[in-house]
Structure 1
């Protein structure tokens, strides 16, 4: 059987559309899945992490965020309302003088910024901060 150029384009377009529908449930629970992958399903306790983000961000393109957790091995930063919630994971070695990081993130809409810290003893701690965005930063 021979395929015309139109047949190949139609089949390819159909495959792309089908693949996008298959991945939609993953986007709906992206934050929970990212946390579960980071923690390995272990319980996360609130507190023990300092998360600093502005209460109101006039422009969602560059929102400054600082996070620290004394005794942390790594800290994962999430933007719960973004299409891709995982923002960054910071890893700290034994020679780091402090377990802190700062960055600028892009936020689509008003949402929670979440930090999950893996402590040296294997436990996990969290902090959450709501940032009100007046102009979205993810092209929305």
Structure 2
């Protein structure tokens, strides 16, 4: 049988066309026009902070102040990462007024691994997969109410991810 003889193939094509049409119509309802305005509202890219070699220098370049450890910042990271190229990490917090969350890896060539601006009304929770050169402390920095809070955990890396 050819595909023109089979009613199933014609039905399948019709369903696929309908699904694609619905998906494209749905894209028209997304607020794409808001993205440039939102991006412009954020501070400029913290290029200097991402170039820093030490955690302290990266925190100073990014925030201009130091962080205090807090049990209200929950850092979830593995104790042992078998592959340093993809180390899953997440942070959540119960602090109010969170404006940013950043991840730092002390012994990486550049300490600041990721930094996120948290829009008002957003749940302060971020997850990522970091690249780690070797066993190191991972620190999550949460900016809330104009202050910095942190949580730190050592992650043992068995195979390095930064060329190791």
Q: 2:142 matched to which residue of 1? A: 117
| Comparing 124-133 and 71-80, the one that deviates more | 71-80
Q: 2:83 matched to which residue of 1? A: 59
The aligned length equals 110
Q: 2:37 matched to which residue of 1? A: none
Q: 2:155 matched to which residue of 1? A: 131
Q: Does 1:85 align with 2:111?
A: yes
Q: 1:19 matched to which residue of 2? A: none
Mapped partners of 2:113, 2:68: distance in 1: 21
Q: 2:101 matched to which residue of 1? A: 75
Query: How far did 1:94 drift?
Result: 1.3
- The alignment's C-alpha RMSD in Å is 1.3
- Rg larger in 1 or in 2? 2
Give the number of the structure whose residues are more often strand, by fraction: 1
Runs of 4+ off more than 3 Å: none
Q: 1:44 matched to which residue of 2? A: 67
- Helix, strand or coil at the partner of 2:78: coil
Query: How far did 1:95 drift?
Result: 2.8
- Helix, strand or coil at the partner of 1:38: helix
Q: 1:4 matched to which residue of 2? A: none
Query: How far did 1:83 drift?
Result: 0.2
Structure showing greater relative contact order (alpha-carbon pairs closer than 8 Å, 6 or more residues apart): 1
Unaligned runs of 5+ in 2: 1-51
Unaligned runs of 5+ in 1: 1-25
Deviation track 1:54-98 (CA, whole Å, cap 9, x = no partner) reads: 0001111101000122322101110111001111111111131x1
Q: 1:8 matched to which residue of 2? A: none
TM-score by length of 2: 0.63
Mapped partners of 2:121, 2:147: distance in 1: 20
